[in-house]
Chains A and B, each alone.
Chain A
């Protein structure tokens, strides 16, 4: 017999379908909670190896000097020629003191955020370049890990950079991103190119190609 809407079965199945969906949701929720509670048992006691490997997340940064003006959306950068403030903070990887300041050598300071996809793309580019060319002998490279937000993924930043074999000394910025603010930056990744006197030569931002990175090195040397 062909099914017709007029002779639909007397037993309505809608309540069963809704009940089955609600049951499936409840089972899914219960399963996730059971798995989560089982996984967290090991965290009730002493810090485990994963917590030890987290490294420094944020650190205190002492800033000497005047903060740079904010990078304009268009037009000339008002920070060009101005002195970059000295940053005294903590090494992201081992907690040792790290200073980024005028010491008679040109520098490039790279600001990265662990959750930013463009930073995640840029880090391997620079890592690869350094693996091929080695550490520049006449330009110092530093990085600052800033804008830490565990909920945004790829956390903690030290694990990410170690996983990428990041070869550049990296400072942990404060929770409020004071080093980032002192540099007057607005996005990630950002690069601050400094001459030997510690004055700003340029502040480009965004993903750079290998060629563009080499141009920044040349600019720092000039």
Chain B
């Protein structure tokens, strides 16, 4: 390779490296904030004090668009890594995609229809997807349990991204699934409160 060509290649590689680092830092920060939000939303979904019930209903009102935002962000993030940065998704990454991508469509339709009953369809997907993320994340932490070697294609044990020493791509996916699940639990809790206070069956629309 000629010197100028090599220098150009090195520059392009350097720029791409900075970009993916910045984007990964952004997604990692979102994951940290999202994780805290998931815990908070889950907490207010099950606490029964009056102030919390009011907050629960406020969050429940916003739950569908927020869940859509989370699913869309996760989808855009995974497509960025595979289609822009050309990371090859491993088998477990694909399984998580299978459970995340449909959520964008499901929640998009639910937001348009203001259909809160979609939580029954969303929760199985988000909980199963989250379980796969947990398995994938612990496999990255303890890679010896599946095999003692890496293959050249896309080993599930490799960490393409690692921010703050613990935020990897499966961790980002886990936070996405957890936050969507928490928002659906919040919707469920608000619906139960409303049902217990209102004897007449109301359509589950916001």
Query: Contact residues of A with B, CB < 8 Å?
Result: 2-6, 8-9, 12-15, 17-18, 21-22, 24-25, 28-29, 32-33, 35-36, 39-40, 43, 51, 113, 115-119, 121, 147, 150-153, 177, 180, 186-190, 205-207
Contacts and interface: CB of A to CB of B under 8 A. Distances in A.
Contact of B152 (A4, A29, A117, A186): A186
Majority-rule SS of B interface residues: helix
Contacts of A9: 54
B154 to A, nearest CB: 10
Majority-rule SS of A interface residues: helix
A205 B57 CA distance: 57
Interface of B: 13-14, 17-18, 20-22, 25-26, 29-30, 33, 50-51, 53-54, 57-59, 61-62, 65-66, 69, 73, 85-87, 140, 143-144, 147-152, 155, 157-162, 190, 193-194, 197-198
Contacts, number: 127
A6 B197 contact: yes
A13 B22 contact: no
Counting from the closest, the 10 A-B pairs by CB-CB distance are A206-B148, A14-B61, A36-B22, A14-B62, A116-B150, A187-B149, A206-B149, A17-B62, A117-B143, A207-B148
B174 to A, nearest CB: 19
A28 B33 CA distance: 10
Nearest to A190: B149
A32 B32 CA distance: 14
